[in-house]
Structure 1
Amino acid sequence: MAVRKNLSRMGVAHFISFALSFASVIVVSRVLTPAEIGIYSVSVAVLGVAHTFRDFGVAEYLVQAEAVGRQEFRAAFSVTLYSSWLLALILFTVREPLALLYNHPGVAEVLGILCVNFLILPFGTPLLALMHRELQFHYLATNMWLTNLVQTLVTIGCAYAGQSYLSMAWGALAAHVFKVVWLNYVRPGEIFMWPTVRGLGEAVKFGSLTGLASIIREIGNGAPDLILGRTLGFVEVAFFSRANGLKKMLISRVVALVRTVYFPTFASEIRQGADGAKLYSLSMSYLVAIMAPVLAVMAVLAEPLILFLFGNQWERSAPLASLICIYAMLVTPYTFYSLSLIAVGEVKRNLAVESTIQGGQVLVLLSSIWLSLEDVVMLFGVVALTQIFCVQRALYRTFGLRFSDHIKAVFPSLILVPCSCLGPALTAFYAIENGLSDYHFSVLAVSGVLAAVGWLAGVFVLQHPMKKEVFNVAGVFHRTCRSLFRMKVK
């Protein structure tokens, strides 16, 4: 009951945050040019790599530590403070050379503003980790959507005020300032403290391998913008960013929501003697049942989605988005492999897997020296296959999970993919054959309804475990509507 309640709270917060981010992306995409957005994307990619260094696994240390007193919390704060402020100084120093590297002064301007975030981060990150440890999801949910609201309003306001590629930077800075103010209001006296050197060794040692794996993953996430920005230019980066963003806007929210509860729950079940292989496959069967059909439908409807949301200037991103969504769908059965390995202490194995996957992605991206953007995105399929092979091998060595057993467990969830895609595919084909492809909203609306109907039909015909969750959601919706009706009558 507590897990479902916490998921509900965070689910509402993630939905509001997604809606706000979605609105911001739509508005900014119509106000700014691809080149302006490309400048910000490259700058944030540089910053994204630096972000993983700011606490070096301190958040995981606070969440998993046997006990967290004032001294442990102060040590975690100190590690975050030292690393974040050092990174702020480094980024501020190298911002001009980076601008020369990418041949645009805007990179230095954006980094100059975002460096301030690193000065502010230590006064919020450790406390947020402590609130996760204490399961204060009501505060965490409120913090999430309020922070996103501030960021969205400031970003859109600055875009209309003519701040160009700086609009998103001002929005991010405003969000961090608001977060610190709000946390100080909720937990007064816990934000500011004197740094210390006592206990730093234990905090750094615990999170070093986990943090290093996160750093490698973040480098891989930022590699497309960093490498393509240098080899193909800002415009190509912008088209890739919009194509990849279509997947990230929806899927990242689902993953971020579930991982909040999945990690501590999985670790707890393992400590109580649960079978790791069966537990992982069962967990993934639920996640695949949601993520794989959504990604497949997005792949089918990539063109009308991008043209409707962002405008005709982004048409080139549509086929790229379809490929990216297909590749992402293939790896959904292995979504939380990293958290699962860390939960049982296999941080070295997790580090090895991350290094192999991200190394392969960087090699593919470097092929942009000779190949076009479209060719590079096609080669991402090699990265997906590499990830499946490496993760499956790690899961077998850790939990004894065989590939055949895992696929058998998630197969009913994968069957929901064709069930969900049939309606949208027929709708898109009909629109093209009858010259209705320009009616993007109508195509998306009809396809969305048919996808939902197909998914529900698959769930009930296959007697999928998600059937119970559908009834639970329907029950909550019914009770909410009945309560609202009674209030209206009164």
Structure 2
Amino acid sequence: MSNPLYSAIKRSITGKLLTYLIQFFALAIYARIFTPEQFGIIASIQVFVIFFQLLADIGIGPAIINEDTFTKNQRNGIFTTTLILGIILAILFYCFSYFLTYFYDGYDYQNIAIIVSIGIIFNSLNIIPLTALNKDANFIKIAKIDCVTELISLSIVYYFSLLEFGAIALATRSLSQGVIKFILTWFSSAKTSLGRPYFGSELYHIKKIVGFASYQFSFNLINYFSRNLDKILIGKYIGTSALGVYEKSYQLMQYPLMLTTFAMTPAIQPVLTKLRSNVDLIVEEHNKLASRLLFISILISFFIYINSENIVIFIFGNQWERVIPLIKLFSFMIPIQSILSTSGSFYQVMNKPQLLFISGLLSATLNIIAICFGVYFNELRFIAIGLIISFSANFLQCYFIMFKYCFKRNIYLFYKKLMKAIFIASMMCALYMVLFIIMKSYLSTEIVINILQNLLLTAPSFGIFYILNRKLNFDI
């Protein structure tokens, strides 16, 4: 019974891998074209762009996926609703940009706001076509669209940077991605079970999904503030240059999550929703997926911690050296977030958005306290340390609620599987560390070669794990 899930996950990861490699390549180019301060300016406004996009979504995507049947009229009515919402929010965002100019006190955001406001409309329009592809698990097609979108956007941003538009050139990325992705997704949704959406007059169909969507939206809303308040406060009280450094550190930390958790998550709800009556099977799949994610993410986070200096300089260049101490701290969050980021999908599978909201509210409270603590001391590293502590606490409360009130099963087997994954991963990390210390004097000072040599040092650990797994059946 587990085959459909892992088949969907395999398609999702395969599709996402190429997308993230291209985004990674684009990120390295952007880091060499724009300064930390220019990145900080865009990051300071992008935080609020995400909020307005969230208001447009209002939990529509997961709510539609949760429905067993969805008619053409319902689809078209909600598609029209997303257009109306997008236009209203775009106008409100442009008006809001005047407040941003006052709030950050140092940059005129109106020119950037015009560009990103149009992008908000197209991102809103893209909700239904993208949901159509996700509902049918067309992850390869989505990945192809993302790749084309990223490459075209990169070309547009690079062109405007040559014309010396500065931060405005970087802002065109948001607009170009919104327009291009909508066009490609809309055409690609024609052969899905939901079908290609057209504008309809029956707007009242939004009521069909409002119950599920309201809890999903409430969770997304509080999750947004808990995940983005740090950027808002850093931009206000520590400065846009510091925000640029922080944003790049956090973004680099998220790339391993993108290649694991974020790539898997879209496959969970569409597949397991069909099996929600078999709770024991859902729990078994959850525990198995969590232990494998933890195992992989511990190895990745350890590698990033050891090689943080070379990784940062190789990807971003020498002007981003301030990222190094932050990425060392953020690497400790990778294992926690890798598991925690899948939790929402399992709440959705069990049709318990209200519990997801409660857990999200608790998470937001702890994260906000941690962020305010770091901002008070005016130190980026204190913010990072506070978030490590808050995410660890959130991990405990999230899974207590999930097993106690959602699955209604004993949590013991879940933690047992995680401890097994931690033990095996720790042994592999220890072997890698021994080899690293022995070979350190022989490693090249050339950054690229040094990273490749370090990757080769991991090979014996994986080899030993593979042999023991076949002999002892670790089952993680």
2:60 equivalent in structure 1 = 58
Question: Superposed, which structure 2 residues align to 1:184-203 within 5 Å?
Answer: 184-187=186-189, 190-203=196-209
Match of 2:446 among 428, 439, 445: 439
CA change 1:434–1:425 in 2 (3 A) is: same
Stretches of structure 2 lacking an aligned partner (at least 5 in a row)? none
- CA distance 1:293–1:268, change in 2 (3 Å): farther
Change (3 A) 1:107 1:380: same
Judged with a 3 Å threshold, the aligned counterparts in structure 2 of structure 1 residues 209 and 441 are, in CA distance, closer, same or farther, namely: same
Does 1:237 pair with 2:249? Answer: no
Match of 1:454 among 461, 466, 472: 461
Give how far 1:444 is off.
Answer: 1.1
Residue 209 (structure 1) aligned to one of 205, 215, 228: 215
**Aligned counterparts of 2:124 and 2:340: Cα–Cα separation in 1:** 32
Residue aligning to 2:389: 382
Hey, what does 1:396 align to over in structure 2?
Answer: 403
- 2:467 & 2:213 partners in 1: Cα distance? 44
Check conservation: 1:13, 1:145, Cα contact below 8 A.
no
Indicate yes or no: 2:410 matched with 1:407. Answer: no
Match in the other structure for 2:322? 316
What letter corresponds to residue 233 of structure 1 in structure 2?
Answer: G
Q: CA deviation at 1:7?
A: 3.9
Equivalent-residue separation in structure 2 for 1:395 and 1:203 (angstroms): 23
Query: How has the CA–CA distance of structure 1 residues 134 and 328 changed in structure 2, closer, same or farther, with 3 Å as cutoff?
Result: closer
Q: Within 5 Å, which residues of 2 pair with 1:74-223? A: 74-187=76-189, 190-223=196-229
TM-score (norm: length of structure 2): 0.89
Q: 1:38 Cα shift?
A: 0.7
Deviations 1:144-190 (A, max 9, x none): 22222222332333334323222332122112222233234435693
Task: Decide whether the 8 Å contact of 1:427 with 1:443 is kept in 2.
Answer: no
The amino acid of 2:425's aligned partner reads V
Take 1:3 and 1:135, find their aligned partners in 2: how far apart are those partners? Answer: 10
Q: Which residue is 1:256 aligned to?
A: 262
Distance 1:341 1:184, change over 3 A: closer
Question: Judging changes above 3 Å, is the alpha-carbon distance between structure 1 residues 55 and 379 closer, same or farther for their aligned structure 2 residues?
Answer: closer
Q: What's the offset of the Cα at 1:44?
A: 0.8
Contact 1:37 1:238 in 2 (8 A): yes
1:429 deviation in Å?
5.0
Contact kept? 2:129, 2:197, Cα under 8 Å: yes
For residue 98 of structure 1, what is the amino acid of its counterpart?
L
Q: Structure 1 pair 92/15, CA: closer, same or farther in 2 (3 Å)?
A: same
Distance 2:6 2:401 in 1: 30
Contact 2:246 2:326 in 1 (8 A): yes
Give the residue type in structure 1 aligned to 2:84.
Y
Pair 1:301 & 2:307 matched: yes
Judged with a 3 Å threshold, the aligned counterparts in structure 2 of structure 1 residues 438 and 100 are, in CA distance, closer, same or farther, namely: farther
Can you list the C-alpha shifts for 1:219-272, whole angstroms capped at 9, x where unaligned?
A: 222222111111111111112112111111231242222112122233233224
| Residue type at the aligned position of 2:255 | M
Take 1:390 and 1:465, find their aligned partners in 2: how far apart are those partners? 33
Does the aligned pair in 1 maintain the 2:79–2:197 contact within 8 Å? no
Bigger Cα displacement from structure 2, 177-186 vs 361-370: 177-186
Distance 2:301 2:384 in 1: 16
Whole-Å Cα distance in 2 between the matches of residues 258 and 464 of structure 1?
Answer: 28
The CA deviation string for residues 179-206 of structure 1, in whole angstroms up to 9 with x for no partner, is: 2332344356934413433222222233
- Residue by residue, what CA displacement relative to the aligned partner does 1:398-417 show, whole Å, maximum 9, x if unpaired? 22454542221123322343
Indicate how the Cα distance of structure 1 residues 72 and 89 shifts in structure 2: closer, same or farther if over 3 A, else same.
same
- Give the distance between the partners of 1:462 and 1:357, measured in 2 at CA: 36
* Amino acid of the structure 1 residue aligned with 2:415: I
- TM superposition shift of 1:58: 1.0
Of 105-114 and 30-39, the range deviating more from structure 2: 105-114
Q: 1:487 maps to which residue?
A: none
Residues 354, 463 of structure 1: CA spacing in aligned structure 2 closer, same or farther, 3 A cutoff?
A: farther
Aligned-partner Cα distance in 1 for 2:119–2:127: 11
Contact 2:436 2:457 in 1 (8 A): no
CA RMSD, 1 decimal: 2.8
SS in 2 for 1:54: helix
Q: Which moved more, 1:385-394 or 1:400-409?
A: 400-409
Q: CA distance change for structure 1 residues 165 and 186 in 2, over 3 Å: closer, same or farther?
A: same
Contact 1:412 1:464 in 2 (8 A): no
What per-residue deviation string (whole Å, max 9, x for no partner) do you get for residues 372-417 of structure 1? 2222222223212221221122123122454542221123322343
Contact 1:296/1:417, CA 8 A, preserved across alignment:
no
> Conserved in 1, the CA contact under 8 Å of 2:19 and 2:143?
no
Q: Which amino acid aligns with 1:370?
A: F
Letter in structure 2 aligned against 1:399: F
Secondary structure class of the residue paired with 1:284? helix
Aligned pair in 2 of structure 1 residues 334, 33: CA closer, same or farther (>3 Å)?
closer
- Aligned in 2, Cα 1:402/1:104: closer, same or farther, shift over 3 Å? farther
Task: Pick closer, same or farther for the CA change 1:332–1:123 going to 2, 3 Å.
Answer: closer
Task: Please tell me the residue identity of whatever aligns with 1:372.
Answer: E
- Is the CA contact (8 Å cut-off) linking 1:127 and 1:190 kept in structure 2? yes
The structure-2 alpha-carbon separation of the partners of 1:165 and 1:269, relative to structure 1 and needing over 3 Å to count, comes to: same
Q: What is aligned with 1:270?
A: 276
- The AA in structure 2 aligned to 1:415 is F
Change (3 A) 1:137 1:240: closer
Higher relative contact order (CA 8 A, sep 6+): 2
Structure 1 residues 191 and 400 mapped into 2: Cα distance closer, same or farther (>3 Å)? closer
- Out of 274-283 and 309-318, give the one that drifted further: 274-283
Give the Å deviation of 1:107.
3.5
Once the two structures are overlaid, the 10-residue window that deviates more, 178-187 or 20-29, is 178-187
How has the CA–CA distance of structure 1 residues 390 and 45 changed in structure 2, closer, same or farther, with 3 Å as cutoff?
same
Once residues 55 and 88 of structure 1 are traced to their aligned partners in structure 2, the CA distance between those partners, rounded to angstroms, is 13
Aligned amino acid, residue 417 of structure 2: A
Question: Matched residues, percent identical?
Answer: 12
Change (3 A) 1:64 1:211: same
Query: Which residue among 358, 361, 366 is the counterpart of 2:367?
Result: 361
Task: Name the residue aligned to 2:37.
Answer: 35
Structure 2 partner of 1:339: 345
